[in-house]
Structure 1
Amino acid sequence: MSPRLAIGIDIGGTKVAGGVVDESGAILHRARRDTPHRSTSPSVVEDTIVEAVDELLRHVDPDEVVAVGIGAAGFVAADRATVVFAPHLSWRNEPLHDALSARIRYPVTVDNDANAAAWAEATHGAAQGESHVVVITLGTGIGGALIVDGQVQRGRHGIAGEFGHMQIVPNGMRCECGNRGCWEQYASGNALVRETKGMMEAGSPVVADLLARLGGDPGALTGPFITEAAREGDPTARELIADIGTWLGVGMANLAAAFDPGLFVVGGGVSAADEMLLAPARNAFRKQLPGRGYRPEARIVRAVLGSDAGLIGAAELARAGRG
């Protein structure tokens, strides 16, 4: 029997990552593009996706590919065809499935990127064997997904799992979704960079060493830079990551009250901070958990598939759709 390969495309706030994925979850070939700026037209994003798919097809026998899966950073409707709203992209009620199906000769599956990442962790990663799982993806913003008894729970309208837009601070910071106080404004990569940059621009001496490492340019600051500085022992970088972890734990306690999972899996780029992030998250989770001390606690672990989870999951969902 010939291999049943699938192509997965993960569309995030900063990059479009693609890969050819085999049935074991291994990525055979990769493609990467920068995500077009959100002010550009939807067709530009579609062009980027098609270019990535075409590049990947040049590395395999096209007859061995059975489907293409798209993990989109946004609200995907229950029809799994329309991106209703994407805070970091220009999509508003965008018929992405139909637009791509007209240009890609394989069956196309569209889903939320966090659903895709969660499915990857459930099939090939940290959530294997667990019946009730909440997956949190910490990147530019916060995505999330809920898996119960081997099924992704998408909700009545397909938009379940947008945990990053839970309000955790009434009248808090304005979010790109239009509301105030959303969780992702306090526990995401954007939040980490914003807080650090704000201290630099305010002239705080506690970030002087970090600023010097950037050559005095706060505009060069990135989340991975802060994580690397923390790994090398910078106390302010460690403190800033711990703050993000504390907010992460607060939000997860709210989710535990709602869903009672057995396991939280934390992925996305910010999870590279590992225990510097997860240890304070667990502490805050225990302090905020309703009924603490009298109920079983969900485990909190780091995702094992890293930044590949979205594209692997998108490919797996597409392959599953093909039977």
Structure 2
Amino acid sequence: MMIRPHSAYGVSAAALAALLVLAGCSSGSDDKKSADPAASVGSASGGGSGPAAAEQAGADGRLAIPAGADDETKKQYMVTNAVAECMKKAGFAYVPFVLTPTSANRDDNDRDYASARKIREKYGFGAFAPDVYPNDPQAPGSKTAVAEDPNTAAFQALPQDRKDAWNAAMMGSTDPAKMKQAMADGGGCLGAAQTKVYGDKGKSKADAEAASEAARRNRLNLNGDPELSRLAQGFASCLRGKGYPVETTAVTEIRNAERFVWMGKAAQLNQNRPQPADVDQPARPQSGPTLDPATARTMLTQEIQAALADLDCGRDFRAAYYPKLDKAPGAEGAG
């Protein structure tokens, strides 16, 4: 039941999907042996080791906002704390939870050349690393790279009537097909928390449209920057000279161009692999099987070579690009 907003008035697609999938799976057998999460969830908070472990709530049941956190991160903490308070009033013990990625999982892990090289020498871009190192918490996408939401087990342990009550309290509906809209309309603890932190839908929509327009302008400005355009051309030429046919030289796309190639290869191979009959959700890596070891290691070896070539070819580009990108919010994500 992870809550991780990434834009105004919305949870991340992965987080919302997890909520809806969990709710959809709750229509199974009625396990009357289970207790209310208020009796069981307390021991689920905190716990794990490593940089992606779930944080421990304080005595007041709230997560402390980290010092120096940016505005969006602060809002993530505010939302999950508001949800916990709301769920408590509804009769459920909800452990506030915010995902903290490992350095290997950060999108900007190529800013520092030395640390990026260390990561890429073992994990490449992180496309096939989950299949080779499924239990390595430093491997991007591995089973242990992301902290388990401490509320999931408590929810699954509930009898069906309490699951329905939880869904109604959390999402404003017991119908999975209606939960997303109910939340967007401010329903349930999640919708109420989003409204409290991000404002009403009208304001949020206007803010989102303004941010989208600003991102579009930032993207145009970066792509038209003469110095960055020259360096992007050199970046692409270097990769092509090493046998990697980069299809774009756009300033705001070249940094991740080769990474996306390998993510696509991994997605294709994992999509084509057989799924066991008892797997309801093919989401990787928590539900499905990994690739066979020989294939995974062969692909990872090739991926590492590409990732190191990408890092070396783009070294000058990234050095000039990041300082300008930091002053152009949303440029890489603009359409």
- State the TM-score, normalized to the length of structure 2: 0.23
User: Which of these two proteins has the greater Rg computed from alpha carbons?
Assistant: 2
User: Which has a greater percent of helix?
Assistant: 2
User: Which has a greater percent of strand?
Assistant: 1
